A and B are shown apart, each in its own frame.
Chain A
Amino acid sequence: MKKKLTELFADFNAISIIGMSKNAGKTTVLGKLIDEWAESGMKVGLTSIGRDGEDVDIVTGTEKPRIFVTKDTIIATAADLLKKSDITKEVLKTTGINTPMGEVVFVKARSDGYVQIGGSSIGSQIVKLLEDFKELGADKVLVDGAISRKTLSSPVITDATILCSGASLSSDMVQVVKETAFAAKLLTLKPICDNNVLRLIDQLPDNAGKIVGIEEDYRFSPVSLDNPHNGNRSAAYIYIRGAVSDSFANKFIMSNINLRGVTIIVEDGSKLFITEKTFEKFNLGNAKIAVRRSINLIAVTINPVSVRGFSFDKDAFREALKKELKIPIYNVLD
């Protein structure tokens, strides 16, 4: 008998679940975890990092599935979304965290039912929510995470992360495997271990700019995309704050910043929105990419069925991914 998905997370309290695309099976995974834990008598909490999109997926026309929770689950969601939930609600706590969809509130499900979850997208607020969950008695907290340039938060604030992938990403299985493996690679980039550098980054003032160079002797050096003097000498590290889009990364590579032997530090793997090709360019330029904080990716789930009506061979799909990844792979439909 195969290990249950929940067993992988026995040692973790806060688990984030992120999807490669819509309909990648994230909702199914959430539902499965809630169900399994509830059955074993655990109190489960559920919230989300921001909300990724609209009720209805514009591309496929499929309704964004609501998450089915069992009785006694505690959810933290925006007030307006609570109205779209059909559980019998008991309001436990208000948070003072305001979103465009109303204040985030803690609600206990007094019955089973469907809920819609939308919370804060600000890291410090999610951290506060996680503390509140603990106080309210939740044994496990699931964070529905969106990877998006718009979210300020990231899976870093949870103890463990699941990546969900599936046939909805592309009709070409090879392509899905490739993209999923690359996403996992970015998420699990190694953290920088030089504590002096980490401390320097922690102390950076808010107005320090997007790119900051750090010299061999731990001094900051000014680096910017359009500074003609960048090329004179190279910094040991270059820290890039916030999201790194593919076009930004390419501008960065094409600029006169000397990248040879440089370690580029990004906040964490979820902040990188670059293609594999761009990633390769950094390697060719002899630059290394490292992260400030690492993400603890524990498993990848796959959904071999696409909402657009086709599906992959589930065993072939799993085997192909297994070759690329060293972490457990789960088929959500099994």
Chain B
Amino acid sequence: MFLRDEQKDAIGLTFILNEILPDSPYSDIRTRNAKFYRADEKQELLDEFYNISQILACVEADGDCIAALRRALMPFKNIDNILKKLERSYLHEIEFFDLKGFMLSLGKLKGAFSDANIRLMDVEFIDMEEALNILDPDSKRMAPFYLNEQYSEELWDVRKEKSRIERLIHEEKDKGKLEELKTKRTFIVAKEDEAETVVKKMLSEKLCEFLPVFRSNINAIGKLDFTIQKAILAKKYNAVCPDIEEDSVEFVEMLNPEVEAVLKERGKSFTPISIKLSAGTTLLTGANMGGKSVAVKTAVLNICLCHMGFFVFAKRAKIPIFDGIYLISEDMQSLEDGLSTFGAEIMSFNSIARQAEKEYLFIALDEFARSTNPEEGAVVVRAVSRFLNTLKSISIITTHYDNIAEGNFGQYQVAGLKNLDFENLAKEIENSTSTSKGIDLIAAHMDYRLIPVSGKNEPPRDALNICRLLGTPHQIMNAIEEGYINNTPKI
């Protein structure tokens, strides 16, 4: 896997995976070890997308047919352990009951699936009537199971004898004779047990031949369940099928559902992010409150989801299949090694850099080297940017260091407060009474869109503007402005 658990949490992938509530026990297994499609599995990935779109089309046309399918998925019980046991030993009544239940449920699912009339790639249910007949010789097709007397003559005889003795026991009044009968019954019970064991072995042996059919059906159940869940998720968030194309990543108005949910709770909305990333380095600069991290994490989230065979949260998306997806972010710690944040970042970067020489990667560096001193940090970021720009792999680097972009990089800037009517906003802030109102107003006016930057660009002055808006004392303001004029931050 490409990301560690805490990174999955940070980019909002855990949030998405937690939204998946599979109906059968088999999809659960698939979600946990969610498959990551590799470049040589492009066809399978496209098939998966095709399957999702088929189910979505079906939901659009008739929501009930998916509901019926989901209901048919619910009764399944996990029989993996029973199948494992069947490989090496014989089964008992309860296990036979569970296998029978599985086959009865499969019959219903098969029916619901053909009623739904959906054609899915690589999802096929194999008929199990023949195996079901082994456990249901009377063809009653009801849930209960017992070792039928018809299975063997010995069983037939011993059961008949058992029932005869029990009738006698019921009628017997004499204590001595009663004890005699009870002893006799004990022997018969032992004989019944023997006869039952023979039958159990015989049934198990017969069922053993169907092991591959059981497993193939389990696979199909899991796949159908998981695909339905992916389609439900796609519908909920208006996700789209990404174009799998080489050489560049492109998102039009992508979203991060977790961040969106958090913002919604605070009465705010998520600004969709559009970005195009080509081979080499793309820099993302902008004010600190501007959501650079969110942009990068949202890109990583959607690229990951695409590789896991999910639709992506955007209006449109182009994504290549990478050999690896990596994120180095400020909230990453290397506690076990006792390294500083910077040390941990460099360690991770070194290993990614080595891998990037051989493989096609997506590399996201969020505020790389921010924890070291600014002058050195800027030097490091510039060197790293230049190195990554020589590769075929696609890298995105967010930084608040200025003047990194003196190479031939792609560059985006958070629009920030650039296009703002400062005088109006200042008045608004002045008129507001609460102390935190200023921050809220700035956040409300912050333009989170990413604007492509071409050539040399004025460094952002959002920090200066924020100080001004928040009523920083005059003497300090003057000193800051002087600094900007005389000593435009340089490295």
Contacts and interface: CB of A to CB of B under 8 A. Distances in A.
B94 A90 contact: no
5 contacts: A83-B92, A91-B94, A91-B145, A105-B94, A108-B144
B68 interface: no
Contacts of B97: 91, 94, 105
Contacts of B93: 82, 89, 91
Interface in A88-104: 88-94, 96, 103
A90 B94 CA distance: 9
Given A82-B94, A111-B159, A91 B146 contact: yes
B70 to A, nearest CB: 19
Given A82-B94, A103-B94, A92 B143 contact: yes
Interface in B169-202: 169, 189, 192
A79 interface: yes
A85 to B, nearest CB: 10
The secondary-structure label for the interface of chain B is helix
Interface in B282-328: none
A58 B144 CA distance: 38
A216 interface: no
Contact of A94 (B94, B166, B189): B94
Given A90-B146, A111-B163, 19 more contacts: A79-B94, A83-B92, A86-B189, A88-B159, A89-B93, A90-B144, A91-B93, A91-B94, A91-B144, A91-B146, A92-B143, A94-B77, A94-B94, A94-B97, A94-B101, A111-B159, A111-B166, A112-B169, A113-B189
A105 B101 CA distance: 14
Contacts of A251: none
Contacts of A91: 93-94, 96-97, 144-146
A71 B94 contact: no
Interface of B: 77, 92-94, 96-98, 101, 143-147, 159, 162-163, 166, 169, 189, 192
A108 to B, nearest CB: 7
B143 A88 contact: no
Contacts of A93: 143-144
A89 B97 CA distance: 11
Contacts of A111: 159, 162-163, 166
Contacts, number: 45
B190 to A, nearest CB: 9
B141 to A, nearest CB: 15
Interface string A63-90: 0000000010000000100110010111
A78 B291 CA distance: 56
A107 to B, nearest CB: 8
Contacts of B101: 94
A110 B94 contact: no
Contacts of A112: 166, 169
A92 B159 CA distance: 20
Interface residues on A, range: 20 to 34
A110 B143 contact: no
Interface of A: 71, 79, 82-83, 86, 88-94, 96, 103, 105, 108, 110-113
B145 A90 contact: yes
A136 B92 CA distance: 22
Contacts of A79: 94
A264 B94 CA distance: 47
Contacts of B159: 88, 111
A71 B162 CA distance: 12
Contacts of A88: 146-147, 159, 162, 192
Contacts of B169: 112
A113 B192 CA distance: 13
Nearest to A110: B146
A94 B159 CA distance: 25
Nearest to A91: B97
Nearest to A136: B144
B489 to A, nearest CB: 53
Contacts of B145: 90-91
Nearest to A93: B143
Contacts of B77: 94, 96
Contacts of B96: 91
A108 B189 CA distance: 17
A88 B189 CA distance: 9
Max chain B Cβ within 10 angstroms of own Cβ: one of A82, A90, A91, A111: A91
B183 to A, nearest CB: 13
A71 B166 contact: yes
A93 B104 CA distance: 13
A113 B190 CA distance: 13
Contacts of A96: 77
A95 to B, nearest CB: 11
Nearest to A111: B162
A93 B142 CA distance: 11
The 8 A-B pairs at the shortest CB distance, nearest first, are namely A90-B146, A91-B97, A86-B189, A112-B166, A92-B144, A91-B145, A91-B93, A90-B144
A112 B164 CA distance: 11
A90 B146 CA distance: 4
Nearest to A113: B189
A114 B143 CA distance: 24
Nearest to A87: B189
A113 B188 CA distance: 12
A113 B169 CA distance: 11
A90 B77 CA distance: 19
Contacts of A92: 143-144
